[in-house]
Homo-oligomer: A and B are copies of this chain.
Amino acid sequence: MEHVIPHAGRATIDDVARSAGVSTATVSRALRNHPNVAENTKRRVLEVVEQLHYVTNSNASRLASGHSHTIGLLSPLLTSWYTSEVVAGVEEVLALARFDLLIGTANPAARERIFCGDARFHQRTDGIVLVDVFCSEEGATKLAELELPVVVLGEQLKSVTSVSVDNVRGARLAACHLMELGHRKLAIVGGHAHLDVAHNVPTERLEGFASALSSASLQLQPQYVEDGDFTIEGGRSAMRRLLALSDPPTAVFLMSDEMAYGAMWALRDEGLQAGHDVSIVGFDDHPVAESVGLTTVRQPVREIGRIGARLMLDALEDGGAVHHHPVELTLVARATTGAPPTN
């Protein structure tokens, strides 16, 4: 069925050119759908390509063209559920466009460097996607000066294309849901996440939560603000501290579902029931949330990654103008929230 392959190893563009009776330039053009190639020629080339199982050597192609056809992605914590999901979304879109994804951990200690372009990505990527690397407008200004397009995920920026949820609104959704159920003693659990620098997410969610209470003439009590470190263990400890208060809250909003699992754990340890004795709201809609009946503020995490990747491809195509893409949040009410206990 198949013709003999001229020599061991992979066929090169020369093999194809020779076998098709054209120049390598023509093969190159035919393969990339260059407009000025006769239909006949193209067909012949494609046949030979098939026959010889020819695959372009991407290293050679990238060296010659100066385009790496690769996007770099940097995040401080690649293994969290949130980041894995975002990466999966980015990968999905990039793969369709036949772009490679090069992933690197963004050492928070070396944040400043990131804004000047990461050395690992030098000459190797056509663009950079930043996930959860809270830049603030200051870092963004530097990023905008990079010779590469940059897309930032998780934060709304002016000088650089970004995609993010409205954290203020998300926290309001949680607070309003709880207040509608009749709660008056509301607590909030956030954290510094994995960064030591100021982090927009906890700040914005705290702000939204407090402002929702204000609108209802309530005030967020300082003892009702806890740090849960964005981990299950942290959420558990935070909940324990809240339960130990002389006047514990009747409802707790945790800024991640994982912290909420920890809070539910703490409740179980005390023989208390979430949604009955204490109401719990998380944030994310993590895959396990539904099965444990967790009420949460859902964010379409994978979609955020997809959108980010598309914006990157757009930027590569037409240099695309800088803009911000907002993503919607929705409250999903489940079993962990209910009316406060009638004491």
- Out of B63, B68, B84, B262, name the residue touching A63 (CB < 8 Å): B63
Query: Which residue of the partner chain, among B53, B58, B124, B264, contacts A291 with CB atoms under 8 Å?
Result: B264
Across the interface, do A291 and B232 meet the contact criterion of CB distance under 8 Å?
Answer: yes
In the complex, what distance in Å separates the CA atom of A288 from the CA atom of B268? Answer: 15
Contact A236 B291 (CB under 8 A): yes
Within 8 Å of chain B (Cβ to Cβ): is A88? yes
Q: Which applies to chain A's interface (DSSP): helix, strand, loop or mixed? A: helix
Q: Is A246 an interface residue (CB 8 A)?
A: no
CB-CB under 8 A for A59 and B288, given A78-B88, A88-B79, A103-B91: no
CA distance A62 to B81 in the complex (A): 34
A79 to B81, CA, bound (A): 10
Q: Is A3 an interface residue (CB 8 A)?
A: no
Q: Specify how many copies of this chain sit in the oligomer.
A: 2
Q: Is the beta-carbon distance between A84 and B79 smaller than 8 angstroms?
A: yes
Task: Bin chain A's interface residue count.
Answer: 35 or more
A119 beta carbon closer than 8 Å to chain B = yes
Taking the complex as formed, is A224 at the interface, i.e. its CB lies under 8 A from any CB of chain B?
no
A203 at the interface (CB under 8 A from B): no
What distance in Å separates the Cβ of A240 from its nearest Cβ neighbour in chain B? Answer: 13
Would B268 and A232 count as touching, CB distance under 8 A?
Answer: no
Within 8 A of B (CB), among A274-314: 287-288, 290-293
In the bound complex, CA of A59 to CA of B105 (Å):
21
Interface string of A88-101 (1 = CB under 8 A from B): 10010001000011
**Interface status of A123 (Cβ within 8 A of chain B):** yes
Residue of B nearest to A56 (CB): B123
CB within 8 A of A261: which of B10, B232, B292?
Answer: B292
> Which residues in B have their C-beta under 8 angstroms from that of A292?
261, 265, 292
